[in-house]
Structures are given as structure tokens and as C-alpha cells.
Structure 1
Amino acid sequence: MAKRSASRKGQAQLLCRMLRLFYDKGWVAGTGGGICAVNGPKSVLMAPTGVHKEAVKPSDLFVVDRRSGAVIRPPKSRSLTVSECAPIFCAIMNRRSEDQDFGELSRAALPVRARGAGASEDKGRIIRTGPRYKQIGSVMHSHALSSVLAADLAGDRDHIVMEGLEMLKGIRGVSNQSKHAVPVIHNTSRERDLLDEIRRVLENPLFEETFCILVRDHGAYIWGEDIWETKRHAEVYHFLFEAVVARSERNQSSLPR
């Protein structure tokens, strides 16, 4: 029990460390943005909303139910409110939750009828091993300017495509030869109203290799198997956002006037 408690304390400290890092990069400025990470088989640690993210302490974090997003244990400070991203964070972590084994953070299972490439049988089930089927253990929400500008490139489409960049290799399962489609959805007045669109995107096979959803005029949700993979994916995607925006500006400036 003491070992588990120490591990969870370390997880909380790491989340706060990431928030400070993301703040320094300009991704969670002005109290915007957020982060969460699995805290056990059925619970998630989540940052509060409406506070300066660079100042969040481990004691400020909420423990919420992984499936429902309901608060299990609030922080001692009654002035804090759980992140408005809570339903979205949980939806991303729980995608295909009916087939997932929450006791094992490194895998996700599909029934036998879902046989196919990249799968192996385990006690009557098929264990998917591709990037889409590894369980999601952490999600971050960015308000970076580069994410807003990258979403603008979609025009009237529902996605942008990133290609021809070495940094694509930093995304699990993606190569520098990939045409990497990143979904783009419309913003709403309240975060929770994005939920239906988020779920629709997560089930779209076009986006099965992505670990990011862009929200027009708002920001991005980026995730990974654990906090460290989420950090890596966040760094890679933000580089890619800047790259595709810079390339678009360069191409526009080279057009004849």
C-alpha cells in the first residue's frame, strides 16, 4: 500500500512538472489548457480549471472516475473546480472502453470476431497490438497559437494532412513517409459540448493513427500511453503545427501577385 501511495504521489508531482513545462512553452497560458493521467485501474488524476497552470501543486489535483468523469476525491481547497475538459479527457481515454482491460495499462482487447492483422489470441479474445489499440493513459489540452493556426489550414475540410517531415517519426506508429491526417472540429461555447464530435472523430478509421484532435479557434487535445508519451507527442505535434503553418505562409508568399 505504501509503495502504491508513493507511486501515485510521484504521478501527481510529474503532472505538475509537465504543466510548468507546458506553460513555459506557451501551451497552457492564461489559466487555459490542462492535463490528466491514469492514477489506478479506475481513477484519473486531473488538474483543476481556471487556475494558473504553472502554479498547480499535487494537492490541487482531483481524482476522478475514469469511466464517468465523476469526482472521487476533490482537493482540500474548496475554491478549486475540476477541469472542464474532464468529460473529454475521459472519452479519449475510454475509447473502445467496452473492450478494454483497465487493470493493464499497456494493452487493449477486442473480441474474437475482430480478428485481423496485428492481433493475437488471449483466452478467447484478440489483443490488438497496433498504435490505435494501446490503452491511453494521459491526455493534455493545449491552447497554443500554433494549434489554432494549424486548424485554420483545414478550410472547409474536417482534417489537415501532415507529410514530408522527419518529426512525424516521433508519433507512435508513424513514419516520415506517412500522410498523417489530424482531425479538425468546430469549437463550442462550452468545452463539454465538444464531446459528441470528439467521440465521432475517435471512431473514424481515417484518424486511427492520430494522437491529436484540433479544435478550431481553440487549441488541441493530445494523448499517449502514459505521461511521457503524451509529452513527446505534444512536442512533436506542436513542431508539426508550426511547420505546416510556416510552409503554408511560404507557399502563399511565393504566389504571383
Structure 2
Amino acid sequence: MAYQHVTLEQKQKAFADLREVKELFASRGWFPGTSGNLSVRVGNFAPDDFHFAVTASGKDKTVHTPEDYLIVDQNGKPCEATSLRPSAETLIHTEIYRLTRAGAIFHIHSVYNSIVSEWFWDRKAVPVTAVELIKGLNIWDEDAHIDIPIVSNYADIPRIVPEVTASLNPRIPGVLLRNHGIYAWGANAFEAKRHIEAFEFLFEYVYRWELLKGRQS
């Protein structure tokens, strides 16, 4: 089976990658309710002609079923006849894939990333300076400083996409939705996982550092 540039073997590999990451992230409590979404690009990497495997909407990510994932095209439309619906936020994935060379995009919810996104909303970015885990984002400057962008969290997903586009920074493989969660990406599933883990460490660090500063003031 193939749709254009996607073979059955590529589809199965993508689903296996998603299953492995889903199980790990679920064990860390990063998918409360049915929240979060994951995707892995398959086949062609052309910016205007690509496909990716994505988690289906409304699924309990703490369990595995035969209907957890589906393949969609560059517009986020299913490539096969199916009763499954792609995640409601698939349009954000399509935009990130279109504008980057990402091979995987992961989106999770945590208390820390939600709190810091609200705390720093006025500056539209979470500032982090001289924390070792910045290197997990492949930034090796000594005493590096980064600003992790924050964008609006509209109920109407297409309204979010232009803000994501405007916020993309080749140096920072992630973007926060206000009071919602982090999107992180990488060249493949392994790199995207590493970036999610680095971001989550940094968010917790910033949260706790802000608490300490508040006690000293």
C-alpha cells in the first residue's frame, strides 16, 4: 500500500515510533484527559507535498488500540477512508512541517509549562539563562540565554497558526501555547523527544527559580 511517497513499511515504522513515545510520555503524566498530540513525518519532505502519521482525536493515550493513529497529507486531511479524526490541532503540525525540516512534532501538557506560559505572557517568551539543559536543544554557548516563544491559545485553531508562523525561531525547536502546552520538534522522533524533555526541565527550573526570587523579595 502507498499513497504517493508513503510505503506500508514507512507507515508501520511511524506508528511504532508514535506508540513508543506515547507510552513513555503517558507514564510521565503528560497527556491528562485525552490531551496532547504526536506526529511523525513519513515519505517525502517537500514543503508543499508531504504526509505524516498523527494521533487520532479523543483517544486515551494511556492505552494502546489499533485505531490510535492515521496518515494525513500536507493539509491535515486523512489519506485513507477512515472514521478516525486527526487531532484537532493538526493544522499547527502542518505549518511547522511546512516551515521546518522537522521529522517529528510532539505536543504535551504539563502544570509547569502552563504556569510559566501565563507568568511570562506579557513578554511573549519564557527567558532562560545559563541552565545546563539548554544544551539539550543543541545550543552550546557558554551561559546561553534563550527566549522560548509563547503564542495565543484560541479555541479556533486556524487563528493560532499565523502566530506560530511569526514566532518560529530556527534556534529554538519549540513554541508554547498560552495556558495550554508545548510543541517541540526535531529531525526525528528521538530528537523531538529530547527537546520535549529539555523544555520540560527548563520550565520546572524557571518556575522554581521564580518562586525562590519571590521569597527573597
- The TM-score, its normalising length taken from structure 2, stands at 0.88
Could you tell me which runs of 5 or more consecutive residues in structure 2 were left unpaired when the two chains were aligned.
45-49
Deviations 1:176-222 (A, max 9, x none): 521111101121123333111111112xxxx3311111111111111
Which aligned pairs between 1:178-217 and structure 2 lie closer than 5 A? 178-202=144-168, 207-217=169-179
Tell me the equivalent position of 2:131.
165
Determine the C-alpha separation between the residues in 1 that align with 2:116 and 2:124: 12
Maintained 8 Å contact 1:174/1:209: no
Deviation at 1:234, TM superposition (A): 0.5
Equivalent of 2:77 in 48, 70, 77: 70
Tell me the equivalent position of 2:99.
95
Structure 1 counterpart of 2:54, one-letter code = M
- How many residues align? The count is 208
Tell me the equivalent position of 2:13.
10
Maintained 8 Å contact 1:188/1:194: yes
SS of equivalent residue, structure 1 residue 54: coil
Determine the C-alpha separation between the residues in 2 that align with 1:26 and 1:45: 22
Identical-residue share of aligned pairs (%): 25
Could you say which structure has the larger radius of gyration?
A: 1
Report the CA distance shift for 1:56/1:191 in structure 2 as closer, same or farther (over 3 A): farther
Could you tell me which runs of 5 or more consecutive residues in structure 1 were left unpaired when the two chains were aligned.
97-134
Determine the C-alpha separation between the residues in 2 that align with 1:91 and 1:228: 21
Moved runs in structure 1, 4+ residues, more than 6 A? none
Determine the C-alpha separation between the residues in 1 that align with 2:153 and 2:34: 18
Equivalent of 2:90 in 82, 86, 110: 86
Determine the C-alpha separation between the residues in 1 that align with 2:15 and 2:92: 20
Report the CA distance shift for 1:70/1:155 in structure 2 as closer, same or farther (over 3 A): closer
Report the CA distance shift for 1:192/1:55 in structure 2 as closer, same or farther (over 3 A): farther
SS of equivalent residue, structure 1 residue 152: helix
Structure 2 counterpart of 1:171, one-letter code = L
Maintained 8 Å contact 1:16/1:57: no
SS of equivalent residue, structure 1 residue 242: helix
